[in-house]
Chain A
């Protein structure tokens, strides 16, 4: 009886073709007849085949590893001439990448999406912040009303004019006067009481460090803001100079009621160096976007007119010029004098250092317009603001 090991010896000899003719024929006959033996032979061939293939694979793997190592080692891939082939050129040249660059590339390919998202978030955050800051600033500095223009005047133009003026003076000979520090903004103001209180628009003195008022006779006084009413665009100033000794009796009265539609009204103001007269009529009893604290008047006004007095035909003060509408023709706005009276009353109740004595009766009624203006212009001032 043959053991399994003996059969294996036989099988191996058969597979290598080392069996002699009769023995070979004998085995083949037995393999054909005996299914157990045939199965055993099949197992044997499968196993040895697998063993050999396994060995081959390990060798091949080793070989590939060697090739890879050689490829990495050789910086310049050498041309390999294949026998009987036209492979004389490298079809796909290797990219030579430094170690750091490879690291960077790996990082980039791994985190591309994250980096992109982060970058876009950052960009959006930056722009949102900038935009937000800008909006916030504009909302703070200006009454956020589109189409509404406040009428204070920037003094850069003035400066330029003055420089041109000094230039002409120099060329004409006499020694130049020392340049006066002109303000950054200017507006108009007028006397409220004979004790030295003045009224102007709030936006004229907004952000002011110091305020200077200058009259028709070029007399200058320092003034300080006493009270301001942001909502109705009103500000009250007080002259602080020692040498100042009162305005005397004011020629106009302040009207505490409302004026009527269609009344002839006029104003005096300083949109430029000289005092300018403007005339029109009261066109509406509400202001920009229906604000009932304001009148609409049809007086042509310009930057610098702000804070100017609005008077009716009898010389009563009925308002304070404040602004105009950009996209409408001839629509200027003035704060109603009733708000001014109310403001003064409330201040009076707070017991100020110097009491207010509002003019009760005007002196202008019944006189002609030029006479009215002659009296009036002594009480209208340029308000210069230094920031």
Chain B
């Protein structure tokens, strides 16, 4: 089974509708998707010597990969969502197991999920790992930034607050002052972020 030629045939109409709804930002669609495939992944992890909490971690990680791809619009699905999620979660759990165990790990698979190697999950996961690393560095840099810069930047970029709100919150005389402060903070963050990030990439 090659990737391209089955794109339209193997996707069920429900899958298409779900993806469209999630891309449109429908929270209930995401919740529905989440509920739909949770038993499968939970069963898989529990069967392979994991706990309920492990299953939840792995599944949320997997759904996150899927969700971000959908939001980007960069998702190229050659199989059902179910299979894709299974492949991603399987891969994630395998990684955790190998890091935990001294011995080689063999996974018990449900036969019904077929050839999970052709799902493109591998590449997506590599990209997601890169992204994870970037976010970790960013979080590190924010922690090193110190107050009030950190709260200011988090308020503006992470929590989507308006400049007016932030001016009032941090007690600046006017919005321009606050903006100037923000730019200074950005400069400092940039130094922290790129030194860490580039160091790590080398």
Q: Is the CB of A55 within 8 A of B160?
A: yes
What B residues does A87 contact at CB under 8 A? Answer: 14, 17-18, 32
Q: Is the CB of B28 within 8 A of A80?
A: yes
Chain A-chain B contacts (Cβ-Cβ < 8 Å), number: 126
- Among candidates B26, B180, B189, residue contacting A47 with C-beta atoms closer than 8 Å: B189
Q: Does A52 contact B (CB under 8 A)?
A: yes
Q: Is the CB of A80 within 8 A of B68?
A: no
Q: Is the CB of B35 within 8 A of A109?
A: no
Q: Is the CB of A54 within 8 A of B184?
A: no
Q: Is the CB of A60 within 8 A of B67?
A: yes
In chain A, residues 1-19, which have Cβ atoms closer than 8 Å to a Cβ of chain B? 4-6, 8-9, 12
Q: Is the CB of B39 within 8 A of A94?
A: yes
Closest-CB distance, A198 to chain B (whole angstroms): 75
Given contacts A9-B179, A47-B190, A106-B52, contact A58 B184 (CB under 8 A): no
Q: Is the CB of B186 within 8 A of A8?
A: yes
Most buried by A among B36, B56, B154: B36
Considering the chains assembled together, what is the distance between the CA atoms of A61 and B30 in angstroms?
12
A76-89 interface code vs B (CB 8 A; 1 in, 0 out): 01001011111100
Considering the chains assembled together, what is the distance between the CA atoms of A60 and B68 in angstroms?
9
Q: Is the CB of B21 within 8 A of A48?
A: no
Considering the chains assembled together, what is the distance between the CA atoms of A51 and B158 in angstroms?
7
Q: Does B170 contact A (CB under 8 A)?
A: no
Given contacts A55-B157, A84-B17, contact A71 B35 (CB under 8 A): yes
Residues of B with Cβ closer than 8 Å to A?
13-14, 17-18, 21, 26-32, 34-40, 46-47, 49, 51-52, 56, 60, 63-64, 67-68, 71, 131, 134-135, 138-139, 153-154, 157-160, 179-180, 183-184, 186-187, 189-190, 193-194
Beyond A48-B157, A53-B135, A77-B35, 20 extra complex contacts between A and B, CB < 8 Å: A5-B187, A8-B183, A44-B186, A47-B190, A50-B135, A51-B153, A54-B158, A55-B158, A57-B64, A57-B68, A57-B135, A68-B34, A68-B38, A71-B35, A80-B31, A82-B17, A82-B21, A83-B21, A87-B14, A109-B47
